[in-house]
């Protein structure tokens, strides 16, 4: 028994050296060459960090393309989904309320045009994307507030649409909104 425990302790020690020191150190060293040097890629505006590339932020004002609902209010020091089940009556009321609010803010939009992601919370609560539909449906509202022609905004959304080979097309909301602020 004593021999087994001693062996186990020595084995544990050497495994710690390999897998908790050498392995992370190797990945850390190589990651220095990665974008953002392994610290997370940031997006700058006027030389100041205005956001992280991968982390969605809360856009609720009417003059911006709004982001999806979030169960954690885009708190990037935590993360979380609503974890509401499909049959939960309180949850369904909340979704209905989101639809109603959206229609109030976007009076030109018909209910059957609202894409589902705009009224449901993401799993992380930090979703940085919208679908192209989710962005385009907000154009009418933004055009009115900012006094920009609709075609110009459609063009802007198209420019910011990523079309990966695999998986759904997405629009990065932060980059889109930064470009929107630049637009004259």
Instruction: List binders of other proteins among 112-171 (CB under 8 A).
Output: 112-117, 119-131, 133-134, 164, 166-168, 170
Other Cβ atoms closer than 10 A to 166? 4
Q: Which is nearer to other proteins, 14 or 149 (CB)?
A: 14
Are the beta carbons of 130 and 65 closer than 8 angstroms? yes
* x/- track of binding to other proteins for residues 17-36 (CB under 8 A): -xxx--xx-xxx-xx--xxx
Q: Which stretch binds other proteins (CB under 8 A): 141-149, 151-159, 176-184?
A: 176-184
CA distance 16 to 46: 44
Least distance in Å: CB of 171 to other proteins?
9
H/E run at residue 165: none
* x/- track of binding to other proteins for residues 94-113 (CB under 8 A): -xx--x-----------xxx
**Binders of other proteins among 35-94, rule CB under 8 A?**
35-42, 48-61, 64, 68, 74-89, 91-92
Interaction of residue 179 with other proteins, rule CB under 8 A? no
Q: Which is nearer to other proteins, 153 or 170 (CB)?
A: 170
Q: Which is nearer to other proteins, 129 or 153 (CB)?
A: 129
Contact partners, residue 140, CB within 8 Å, separation at least 6: 106, 108, 109, 150
Q: Give φ, ψ of 51 to 5 degrees.
A: 175, 170
CA distance 34 to 30: 7
Tokens 């449906």 sit on residue: 137
CA distance 101 to 169: 26
């Amino acid at each position: 028994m004593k021999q087994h425990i001693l062996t186990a302790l020595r084995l544990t020690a050497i495994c710690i050296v390999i897998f908790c020191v050498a392995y992370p150190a190797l990945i850390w060293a190589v990651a220095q060459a990665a974008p953002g040097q392994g610290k997370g890629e940031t997006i700058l505006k006027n030389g100041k960090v205005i956001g992280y590339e991968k982390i969605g932020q809360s856009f609720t004002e009417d003059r911006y393309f709004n982001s999806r609902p979030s169960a954690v209010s885009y708190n990037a020091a935590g993360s979380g989904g609503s974890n509401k089940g499909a049959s939960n009556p309180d949850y369904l009321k909340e979704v209905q309320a989101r639809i109603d609010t959206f229609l109030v803010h976007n009076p030109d939009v018909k209910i059957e045009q609202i894409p589902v992601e705009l009224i449901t919370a993401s799993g992380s609560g930090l979703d940085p994307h919208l679908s192209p539909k989710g962005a385009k449906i907000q154009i009418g509202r933004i055009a009115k507030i900012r006094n920009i022609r609709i075609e110009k905004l459609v063009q802007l959304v198209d420019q910011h649409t990523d079309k990966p080979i695999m998986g759904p097309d997405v629009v990065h909301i932060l980059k889109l909104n930064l470009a929107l602020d630049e637009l004259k």
